[in-house]
Structure 1
Amino acid sequence: MHTTTTTRTLAITAVLTLGLTLAGCSTSNNSSDVSSSSSTTSAASAHNRQDVMFAQMMLPHHEQAVEMSDMLLAKGDGVDPDVAALAKQIKAEQSPEIKQLTSWLKAWGAPTESEHSGTGHVMSGMMSDSDMSDLNQASAKDAVKLYLEQMIKHHEGAVDMAKTEVDKGGNTDAVQMAKSIVSSQTEQITRMKDLLAAV
């Protein structure tokens, strides 16, 4: 009888010990996973005010560049093929960036519009309503020249904004996008100046 009780006690103790050990392992692993997951999330979303301003200002800037490109391409066969190819490239590069910029602002809990919107503040390189109307109404030949002139200024403004982000931004991905913008749009400015000289 005594032996049976002792055996039972030892068995129960062993089960409890095993259970606590497993629970300890489980708790340890879970907290480790949560910690790892949250640190990854915080690293991805880490940002400063400059990142927010960059996204808020580059978003409408990109949207206007795509709109300008659509206007030019709508002119049809009368558009110089080299300029049309450039417009398509600009759309292909900037459309995905528009989605990314919007996604960042949403993740950061920031509005997609800058605090400067509607206060008369004009972002560097942005076309006015009158500029956009002129481009929209121009003939295919005139539109090519207008598009190149306007897009050079537009790109120069974007490059300036991107350089500020590279210098002062805190979000790794946003800074990387800014570097890409500086590189690709600087190269496109050179191409546009060459194309404009030939018009």
Structure 2
Amino acid sequence: MSAHRCSVARRRTLAAAGTVAALALALTACGSSDGSKSDGSSMPGMGHASAGASAPATPGAGFNDADVKFAQQMIPHHQQAIEMAKLADGRAADPEIKKLATAIEKAQDPEIETMKGWLKSWGKPLPSSSMGDMPGMDHGSDGSAMPGMMSGKDMSDLAAAKGKDFDKKFAQLMIGHHQGAVTMAEDEKKNGVDVDAKKLAGAVVTAQTAEIEQMNKIIDRL
């Protein structure tokens, strides 16, 4: 073959190769211009965050029976504390008792909503709206299954009290109630696995232990 013919053949070969390369580039561009993005699955080392984010959570993962028990029992426990706190309106005489009752109500109501949210996300039932249907609700200080719960008589006696008598009775009963909550929270810290539930349990221990100390001081000066 003459040098001229070889040169022509080489140019045709290079042109064909250029066409193939151009076609490959065009196909690549078309594949990424339709609004979708490559998932990077065929490229070593390339992560794909959106795939991980959209993957459904494994049912039952991240919590255990201790977490469920903590939420199901602490909800009505908090509800009773709020009922006790509301009784201070029109009955309490001591400014510190009034302030404490308001603080208890403001702190525990949001915690109730948080725990309800956990139970719904876990697919577990909420406690009955009737506290008398919960285990230990009609016993409380006389040996309930739920530590620190007040009996019906405890609540009636508190509602009937006024002034200094109410202040002292409120502090005494709330100390017992808080001690029960601390016991339940310590159990959750020890046996639970849900990070948020354990964090709330720790907050309950810290806050209510401090309030117990505060109420003991109030009783000493009343």
Are positions 1:33 and 2:50 aligned together? yes
| Contact 2:127/2:134 (8 A) holds in 1 | no
Pairing 1:80-95 to 2, within 5 Å after superposition: 80-95=94-109
| Contact 1:48/1:170 (8 A) holds in 2 | yes
Pairing 1:7-156 to 2, within 5 Å after superposition: 12-20=23-31, 25-28=37-40, 32-38=49-55, 46-75=62-91, 79-113=93-127, 118=133, 120-121=135-136, 122=144, 123-156=146-179
Tell me how many residue pairs correspond in the alignment. Answer: 190
Report percent identity of matched pairs: 36
RMSD: 3.0
TM-score, with length taken from structure 2: 0.74
* Unpaired segments ≥5 residues, structure 2: 1-11, 41-45, 137-143
| Secondary structure of the corresponding residue to residue 170 of structure 1 | coil
| Secondary structure of the corresponding residue to residue 27 of structure 1 | coil
* Unpaired segments ≥5 residues, structure 1: none
**Which structure is richer in relative contact order (CA contacts within 8 A, separation 6 or more)?**
1
1:63/1:38 Cα in 2 relative to 1: closer, same or farther (>3 Å)? farther
* Aligned residue number for residue 184 of structure 1: 207
In structure 2, what is the Cα distance between the partners aligned to 1:37 and 1:79? 56
Computing the radius of gyration from Cα coordinates, the structure with the larger value is: 2
* Aligned residue number for residue 216 of structure 2: 193
TM-score, with length taken from structure 1: 0.81
Alignment deviations for residues 146-181 of structure 1 (CA, whole Å, 9 cap, x no partner): 111110000000000000111111111111111111
1:145/1:172 Cα in 2 relative to 1: closer, same or farther (>3 Å)? same
